[in-house]
Amino acid sequence: MKKLINNPLQVVPEMLEGLVALHPGLALLDGENVVVRADPNAGAQVALIAGGGAGHEPAHAGYVGPGLLSAAVSGDVVTSPSTDAVLAAIRAVAGPAGVLLIVKNYTGDRLNFGLAAEIARADGIPADMVIVDDDVALPTGEGTAGRRGIAGAVLIHKVAGAAAAAGLPLDAVKREAAAAIASLGTMGVALSPCTVPAAGEPGFTLRPDEIELGLGIHGEPGVRRGRIEPADALVTELVSRILDDRGIERGERVALLVNNLGGTPAMELAIVARRAVGLLAERGIVVERAWCGSFLTALEMAGCSISLLRLDDERLARLDAPASAPAWVRGSGPASVGRPRLPVEGVAAPRHDAGRPANEGLVRVLGAVAEALRQAEPRLTTMDREVGDGDLGISLARGAAAILRELPALEVEPSAALRHLSLSIRRSVAGTSGPLYAMFLLRGAGALVGAGAAPDAAAWARALAAGCEGVMALGGAQAGDRTMLDALVPAAEALQSGLCAGRPWHEALAEAVAAAREGAARTAAMAPRRGRSSYLGDRALGHVDPGAEAVAIWLAAVQHALAPSGA
Ligand code: ADP
Ligand code: MG
């Protein structure tokens, strides 16, 4: 057993102390595992008490507060509280309006709460009790212990709490609670067991691929064991059974509670909720309010339960009525699937101005870049596999495909073309290279704003330098860190200094390509400090950085594409 506890025998008092420490609105009764409101309602309203064995947190103490419970009585883990603990709670919170005990249908709870109510009445305190038995996995009927009370009890607390807060007398609060119980059904599915701290080992076992439908919150047997199925199939089975059992029909309105048994990730719970809402919509049932979370658990048991409570306007108002307790959240809704999705804010492709000459030069260069990257895919894949994860080849091939796809849209001013290409690369290339190249192009586009339809070589050199700055700003790397920058930065510097020295642009470009090649080659001697290769440390030594090699490849393609007409 591995648990964050101190002493298996002290888990309940220590847990309650923790809860009360966090919530000034709660207090503990001295010497009892009973949590009450710190501001006891002056007795004007009917008091509500729930409880049972511990291990179902946040139930029950998490529901103590205005509009909900007046007190929660906790037994030991999965053990009914004693009659005297219940009696202490009754004496602490009951006024002349009396007290209603909301008890889940377990023999121990019925006996202890029932005896406490009897003693209270003998003492002159009006006390009554309702039994929650919402588990539709079990048969009803004579000669059985009846159905268990499980997660749906939380909604009963709320309905009764709102009725009491509205000032109704005890018999009316009881009637509303009982009517709600008759309209409530719950069923669960367990994926893994739980361990009671004092027992030290799981209460039952499930094989890795096994689940149990209808399992109780203490590990009592369910209706069937079977292999794990897709969530949608399991939810369909649970919901269908509740609907059949409770006779809930098309056109009716319900509250839906998707409850975590303790060990289920919120992700899975939301997937369950999605199907539950969808299925109810298919059956023509209106989900007025929905909850999805941990409401009544079974320690760390993985799995969930689904509860449906039939609603009319009055009961819906009870669920919506103001309440405040550590574990209570207002229900969301109405819940529905298939609401139209909001459109993604798109950027329209730049439009070619028919009056202007098409930007053939840039389109030709980009076509050559795409072709070179496509051809280099196997080599870059191998290089990235040696020092990274092997996806650079395919990533840049995707980039190449994006370029080719967008070529017709790129016959516009270079600034607009690079801007559009940045968006397209950003959407089609993942990993590290995607955002870095998108940034490279975006900054390059920015540097070309105002440079017109045919920027001169100096403008292109400024764009290349701006692109490098962008990659550094976004990725946090510098030349020398063994990244694409070790090819890009020397190339940008060579281009600029060649042009400054007055050499023809094609000579300066040739120097830039050479600088990129040399820069890439030098990375073989550098220890990686950025990106995935950095985890390799010295083991990357002797290998050229694939990102830098890719720069040398596409820059050479640029030069080659410009050479025939330019040189
Ligand atoms: P990953 O698979 O690690 O997400 P890619 O395979 O898309 O990344 O790209 C790997 C290349 O990205 C490396 O070879 C390196 O050149 C480059 N790179 C990694 N980190 C950075 C960075 N912070 N700045 C610039 N380039 C980087
Ligand atoms: Mg990679």
3-state SS of 118-164 is HHHHHCCCCEEEEEECCECCCCCCCCCCCCCCCCCHHHHHHHHHHHH
Report the CATH number that the domain containing residue 552 is assigned in CATH: 1.25.40.340
User: Are 301 and 376 within one domain?
Assistant: no
One domain, residues 163 and 233? yes
Whether the CB of 399 sits within 6 Å of ligand 1: no
Q: Quick one: pLDDT at residue 43?
A: 67
291 with 436, same domain? Answer: no
Q: Please give the distance, rounded to the nearest whole angstrom, from the Cα atom of residue 389 to the centre of ligand 2.
A: 5
Q: Is 531 in the pocket of ligand 1 (CB under 6 A)?
A: yes
Given 261, 294, 320, the domain boundary residue is 320
**Cβ pair 557, 368 in contact under 8 A:** yes
Task: Ligand 1 pocket test: pick from 382, 425, 433, 443 the residue with the most ligand atoms within 8 Å of its Cβ.
Answer: 433
Coil, strand or helix at 344: coil
Q: Are residues 298 and 412 in the same domain?
A: no
Q: Is residue 535 part of a domain?
A: yes
Q: Does 369 lie in the same domain as 224? A: no
Residues 253 and 395 in one domain: no
CA 431 to chain centre: 22
User: Which is catalytic among the residues 56, 60, 157, 218?
Assistant: 218
State yes or no: pLDDT of 565 exceeds 80. no
Tens digits of per-residue pLDDT, 464-479? 999 999 999 999 999 9
Same domain as 269, residue 189: yes
Residue that finishes a domain, picked among 320, 347, 370: 320
- Ligand 1 pocket residue status of 476, Cβ below 6 Å: yes
pLDDT of 537 reads 78
- pLDDT for 56 equals 98
Indicate whether 157 belongs to any domain.
yes
pTM: 0.79
In a domain, 71, yes or no: yes
Name residues whose C-beta falls within 8 Å of residue 381's C-beta, 6 or more positions apart in sequence.
390, 391, 392, 393, 394
**Cβ 331 under 6 angstroms from ligand 1:** no
Is pLDDT larger for residue 140 or for residue 9?
Answer: 9
Provide mean pLDDT across the span 251-269: 98
Give backbone dihedrals phi and psi of 335, rounded to 5 degrees, phi first.
-90, 140
Preceding omega of 343 cis (within 30 degrees of 0): no
From the CB of 528, is ligand 1 less than 6 Å away?
no
- 356 vs 348, residue with greater confidence: 348
> Ligand 1 atom 3: the closest Cα is on which residue?
532
Torsion of CA 453, 458, 459, 460, to 10 degrees: 90
Q: Which residues pair with 307 in a beta bridge?
A: 186, 257
Cα of 379 to ligand 2 centre, how many Å?
A: 13
Say yes or no: 411 and 310 in one domain: no
Q: Is 314 in the same domain as 446? A: no
Does some domain include residue 346? no
- Which ligand 1 atom minimizes the distance to the CA of 483? 16
> Ligand 1 centroid vs 535 CA: distance in angstroms?
12
Per the structure, how many domains does the chain have?
2
Q: What is the pLDDT of residue 566?
A: 43
Given this model, what pLDDT does residue 353 score? 61
Instruction: State if residue 481 touches ligand 1 by the CB under 6 angstroms criterion.
Output: no
Please determine, for residue 522, whether its predicted confidence score (pLDDT) is greater than 80.
Answer: yes
C-alpha of residue 90 to centroid of ligand 1, in Å: 66
In a domain, residue 256? The reply is: yes
CB of 33 closer than 6 angstroms to any ligand 1 atom: no
Range of the domain at 286: 8-320
pLDDT tens for 37-80 read 998 765 689 999 999 999 999 999 999 999 999 999 999 999 99
Taking ligand 2, which is a single-atom ion, which protein residues have CB atoms under 5 Å away? 384, 388-389, 391-392
With respect to residue 343, please indicate whether it lies within any of the assigned structural domains.
Answer: no
Residues 216 and 91 in one domain: yes
DSSP 8-state code for residue 327: T
Kindly identify the ligand whose nearest atom is closest to the C-alpha of 483. Answer: 1
d(CA 449, CA 152): 63
Neighbouring-strand partners of residue 335: 287
d(CA 473, ligand 1 centre) in Å: 14
State residue 328's pLDDT score.
Answer: 98
Residue type, 205: T
In a domain, 342, yes or no: no
Q: Say yes or no: 557 and 412 in one domain.
A: yes
CATH number at residue 177: 3.40.50.10440
Q: How far apart are CA 76 and CA 53, in angstroms?
A: 6
Mark whether 218 is an active-site residue. Answer: yes
Give the confidence band of 567 by pLDDT, cuts at 50, 70, 90. Answer: very low
- CB distance 384 to ligand 1 below 6 Å: yes
pLDDT of residue 9: 94
Are 295 and 401 in the same domain?
Answer: no
Q: Is residue 486's pLDDT more than 70?
A: yes
| 239 found inside a domain | yes
